[in-house]
Amino acid sequence: MIFVLPGREIPGRFPGIVSGFSKLGSQAPRFSRFGEGGAGFETYLRSIRVAKKVLITGANGEIGHGLINRLAERDNTEIIALDLAPLEPSLSAKCSRVVVGDILNSALLENLSTTHNFDTIYHLAAVLSTSAERHPPHAHRVNVDGTLNLLEIAVTQTHLQGRPVKFLYPSSIAVYGFPDLASKNKAGKVREDEWCTPRTMYGINKLYCEQLGSYYANRYRQLDAESVPVRIDFRCLRFPGLISAVTRPTGGTSDYAPEMLHHAAQGEPYHCFVREDTRIPFMVMPDAIEALLALEAAPKEKLNREVYNISAFNPSAAELRDLVQKAFPRAEMRFEPDRKRQAIVDSWPGDVDCRAAERDWGWKPMFPMNRAFEEYLIPGIRKRYLNV
């Protein structure tokens, strides 16, 4: 099953389904492809049970890994994955289609959109805060132009299907920006509309894209003679720092927490680039994935806003060190703050107010701090580095 796409095609979980149910594919009879012995027919039967088709951009990233694994547990979701790099075989086996390509390639996106009817787009592809600071124009292209391209695809899909396509967008605590540590410490839990004065390229990109999503959902083409009959359904989470036991982050500034853990588990010394008293909110990856799925599933009428804070715990870097040291007593960890990266973390809030998410769609983390370490991070990371 190969389509004319400028990206590279990798066969995935249900190759027959994709062609059989795509707009292009549906023009040709597919039963001849089912082959001998009925295995293809089984695939066909599975395909008619597929209730949802989702597009995941940045599928190879940390959230992408978690989301694909979680969605694949449901046998009614067909996953189309897009990333710059090929997915590892165990992950691509869980997708019905994997496209290796760039979100800046509009032709590729349009081709995907003529080939599939997506119910939901999870637009995860992004350049994170530290990387974005090193290559600002590139970050702007990926984070802003890339998001605009995906929003346009969501509009096309919404018009074609005559119903709002859901657009799930991970934003970040990087949209907040305190001018100094004193105002951060004084502010306490920050609400969604406070301190939205980001100090990084990434934070600026994320804040702008939140507003872009909101515009597409509410006022897109507001001057058209005929009012737009149906608009996209944009839903956004402001993630705190994320910690996974399975994958390692690259290019973020909250990375010191996962880096401490992953270094300790491998017996490698770690020089932490922030001060011991540094405090920002965090959550573990399974909570991040559940939050995305819960927001996606929430009834539209319950949602009083497009953008929601979420968080699970907010330890200082010293508290994180103590938890890691407890699990790995021989770990060597030293604090060697990097003045510039420290300034970025100091501009992010020490905690966020999650009451809107709790009230509107029932947000509650499964993993508060101790449980996160005892039941998810430490056992998961020990398993990951079993042979180290």
Tell me which DSSP letter residue 86 carries: P
Q: How far is the CB of 252 from ligand AKB (least distance, A)?
A: 3
Q: Max Cα separation, the chain?
A: 71
Q: Cβ distance 196 to 175 under 8 Å?
A: yes
Closest CB to ligand AKB among 5 and 63?
A: 63
- Show contacts of 38-46: CB within 8 Å, 24+ apart: 40/16, 43/14, 43/15, 43/16, 43/17, 44/16, 44/17, 44/20, 46/14, 46/17, 46/75
By the rule CB under 6 A, 241 interacts with ligand AKB: yes
Closest CB to ligand AKB among 62 and 78?
A: 62
Of 239, 288, 257, nearest to 64 by C-alpha is: 288
State CA 306 to chain mean position distance: 16
Half-sphere exposure of 200 (CA within 13 A, CB side): 30
Closest CB to ligand AKB among 56 and 174?
A: 174
Of 176, 203, 189, 188, nearest to 348 by C-alpha is: 176
By the rule CB under 6 A, 174 interacts with ligand AKB: yes
Among 92, 96, 254, 347, binds ligand AKB (CB under 6 A): 254
Stretch that binds ligand AKB, among 94-102, 251-259, 311-319, 368-376 (CB under 6 A): 251-259
Tokens of 328: 């790995």
Closest CB to ligand AKB among 1 and 357?
A: 357
d(CA 7, CA 110): 11
Kind of pairing between the strands at 97-100 and 8-11: antiparallel
Q: How far is the CB of 187 from ligand AKB (least distance, A)?
A: 17
Q: How far is the CB of 129 from ligand AKB (least distance, A)?
A: 3
Q: How far is the CB of 281 from ligand AKB (least distance, A)?
A: 9
Q: How far is the CB of 174 from ligand AKB (least distance, A)?
A: 5
By the rule CB under 6 A, 128 interacts with ligand AKB: yes
Stretch that binds ligand AKB, among 63-71, 145-153, 247-255, 362-370 (CB under 6 A): 247-255
Closest CB to ligand AKB among 26 and 211?
A: 211
At 266, phi and psi to the nearest 5? -95, 5
Q: Cβ distance 165 to 118 under 8 Å?
A: yes
How many residues does this entry show for the chain? Answer: 388
Among 68, 98, 155, 173, binds ligand AKB (CB under 6 A): 173
By the rule CB under 6 A, 96 interacts with ligand AKB: no
Q: How far is the CB of 255 from ligand AKB (least distance, A)?
A: 6
By the rule CB under 6 A, 202 interacts with ligand AKB: yes
Tell me which DSSP letter residue 11 carries: E
By the rule CB under 6 A, 172 interacts with ligand AKB: yes
Which residue carries 């890994």 as its tokens? Answer: 65
Q: Count residues near ligand AKB (CB under 6 A).
A: 11
Closest CB to ligand AKB among 82 and 174?
A: 174
Site residues for ligand AKB, 273-312, by CB under 6 A, read none
Please list the helix, strand and coil fractions of the chain in percent, rounded to the nearest 5, in that order: 45, 15, 40
Stretch that binds ligand AKB, among 20-28, 103-111, 159-167, 172-180 (CB under 6 A): 172-180
Closest CB to ligand AKB among 52 and 191?
A: 191
Stretch that binds ligand AKB, among 167-175, 267-275, 315-323, 325-333 (CB under 6 A): 167-175
d(CA 95, CA 81): 7
Among 253, 278, 314, 347, binds ligand AKB (CB under 6 A): 253
Cα dihedral sign, 258-264-269-271: positive
Tokens of 218: 């509410």
Stretch that binds ligand AKB, among 16-24, 90-98, 170-178, 361-369 (CB under 6 A): 170-178
Closest CB to ligand AKB among 113 and 171?
A: 171
d(CA 77, CA 232): 20
Could you list the residues that contact ligand AKB (CB under 6 A)? 128-129, 172-174, 202, 239, 241, 252-254
